Structure 1
Amino acid sequence: MNLGMERMLRFFQAIAQILSSYTLPFNLLVYGLTLAAEKPPSPDATYAILQALRQRLGLIRRFFRLFRFLESFHAAHQLYLGSTRKGAGTGTGTPIQLQTEDWLDILGRTFNGMYLLLEASTTADALGIDGLALWAPETARRLALEAQRFWLFALVCGVFAGSLRAVKVLAYTPVPAAPATTTGTGAAFGATKGGNGEDGDGDGDGDGDGDGDGDGDGDGDGDGDGDGDGDGDGDEKNWDLQREQARLRGLASDRRRARVLWRRDIQAKIRRLGRGVVANALDVALPGTAVGWLDLDPGTVGVAMLVTSILTGLEVWERCGREVGVGGG
Structure 2
Amino acid sequence: MLGSIARFTNDSVGLEKSLKFVQSVSQIGESIAAPYFFEAAHWTLAKEQVGLARRYFRLFKWIDCFNAAQAEYARINNKPEVKADEVHAQKLTRTSSEDDVRQLLSVSKWSFLGIYLFMEMFTISNALSITSYSWGPTLQMESLKFWFYSLAVSFVLGIYDLWLMSAAESESQPTDTSTTDSGSTENEKATKGAQAPQHTKDASAQLSSKRRAIYKQIVQDGCDMLIPASIVGWVQLDPVTVGVAGSISALLGASDAWNRVNQ
- TM-score norm. by structure 1 comes to 0.64
Look up the equivalent residue of 1:308 and give its one-letter code: S
- The match for 1:119 is 120
Does 2:54 match 1:61? yes
Q: How does 1:134-213 map to 2 (within 5 A)?
A: 135-136=133-134, 139-173=135-169, 174-175=172-173
Q: For residues 171 and 269 of structure 1, what CA distance do their matches in structure 2 show?
A: 15
Measured after TM superposition, the shift of residue 177 of structure 1 is 5.2
Over residues 81-122 of structure 1, what are the superposed CA-to-partner deviations in whole Å (9 max), with x where a residue is unaligned? Answer: 1233333x769xxxx655222111101111101110111110
Q: For residues 247 and 57 of structure 2, what CA distance do their matches in structure 1 show?
A: 18
Change beyond 3 A, Cα 1:22–1:4? same
Look up the equivalent residue of 1:150 and give its one-letter code: F
Q: For residues 192 and 69 of structure 2, what CA distance do their matches in structure 1 show?
A: 46
Does 2:241 match 1:307? no
Q: For residues 156 and 143 of structure 1, what CA distance do their matches in structure 2 show?
A: 20
* More helix per residue: 2
Secondary structure in 2 aligned to 1:86?
Answer: coil
- RMSD of aligned Cα (Å): 2.7
Q: How does 1:1-329 map to 2 (within 5 A)?
A: 1-22=11-32, 43-87=36-80, 98-129=99-130, 132-133=131-132, 135-136=133-134, 139-173=135-169, 174-175=172-173, 244=186, 250-321=191-262
Q: For residues 76 and 165 of structure 1, what CA distance do their matches in structure 2 show?
A: 18
Residues 31, 40 of structure 2: 8 Å contact kept: no
Q: Which protein has the larger Cα radius of gyration, Structure 1 or Structure 2?
A: 1
Which 5+ residue runs of structure 1 have no aligned equivalent? 28-42, 182-242, 323-329
Q: For residues 162 and 259 of structure 2, what CA distance do their matches in structure 1 show?
A: 19
Look up the equivalent residue of 2:58 and give its one-letter code: R
Change beyond 3 A, Cα 1:321–1:81? farther
How many aligned positions are there?
233
Change beyond 3 A, Cα 1:59–1:292? same
Residues 178, 255 of structure 1: 8 Å contact kept: no
Over residues 274-327 of structure 1, what are the superposed CA-to-partner deviations in whole Å (9 max), with x where a residue is unaligned? Answer: 1111110111100100111100001000000000011122223344456xxxxx
Secondary structure in 1 aligned to 2:79?
Answer: helix
Measured after TM superposition, the shift of residue 146 of structure 1 is 0.4
Measured after TM superposition, the shift of residue 7 of structure 1 is 1.1
Q: For residues 315 and 266 of structure 1, what CA distance do their matches in structure 2 show?
A: 17
Secondary structure in 1 aligned to 2:78?
Answer: helix
Measured after TM superposition, the shift of residue 4 of structure 1 is 2.0
Measured after TM superposition, the shift of residue 63 of structure 1 is 0.9
Q: After TM superposition, which residue ranges in structure 1, 4 or more long, deviate above 6 angstroms?
A: none
- TM-score norm. by structure 2 comes to 0.79
Bigger shift: residues 145-154 or 96-105: 96-105
Q: Percent identity, aligned pairs only?
A: 26
Which 5+ residue runs of structure 2 have no aligned equivalent? 1-10, 84-95
Look up the equivalent residue of 2:12 and give its one-letter code: N
Q: For residues 245 and 15 of structure 2, what CA distance do their matches in structure 1 show?
A: 19
